[in-house]
Amino acid sequence: MRKIRLAVLTLACAACLKAPEVLACPVCYGSSDDEILRGAGMSVLFMMGITYAMLLSGVAVVVVLYRRRRRQEAAKIETI
């Protein structure tokens, strides 16, 4: 088990030291006008939009259920 850990650690260190380009962000390593960078920016906006849409839909469900319950309680009081 110790040999496996040592081998994995050695490979991880070698990979980090051998390929610094992999660790660099697109802005630092490449040009800032690259299509990939614009695509990454748009994907971040898309993911944020989906997240906020899901959160707002959850809030909308809670509001609808709250209003429905209030209406049912009001109808129950009127019938008594």
pLDDT, tens digit, 9 for 90 and up, residues 37-46: 788 889 999 9
Tens digit of each residue's pLDDT (9 = 90 or more) over 6-32 = 888 888 877 777 666 656 666 666 666
Residue 49 pLDDT more than 90?
A: yes
* Whole-prediction pTM: 0.53
Between the alpha carbon of residue 11 and those of residues 6, 28, 34, 69, the distances in Å are 9, 25, 32, 61
E strand map for the chain:
none
Q: From CA 76, how far away is CA 73, in angstroms rounded?
A: 5
Question: Is the pLDDT reported for residue 3 higher than 80?
Answer: yes
Residue boundaries of the structural domains of the chain? 1-26, 31-80
Which tokens is 72 given? 């049912």
Q: What is the rounded distance in angstroms from the CA atom of residue 23 to the CA atom of residue 17?
A: 10
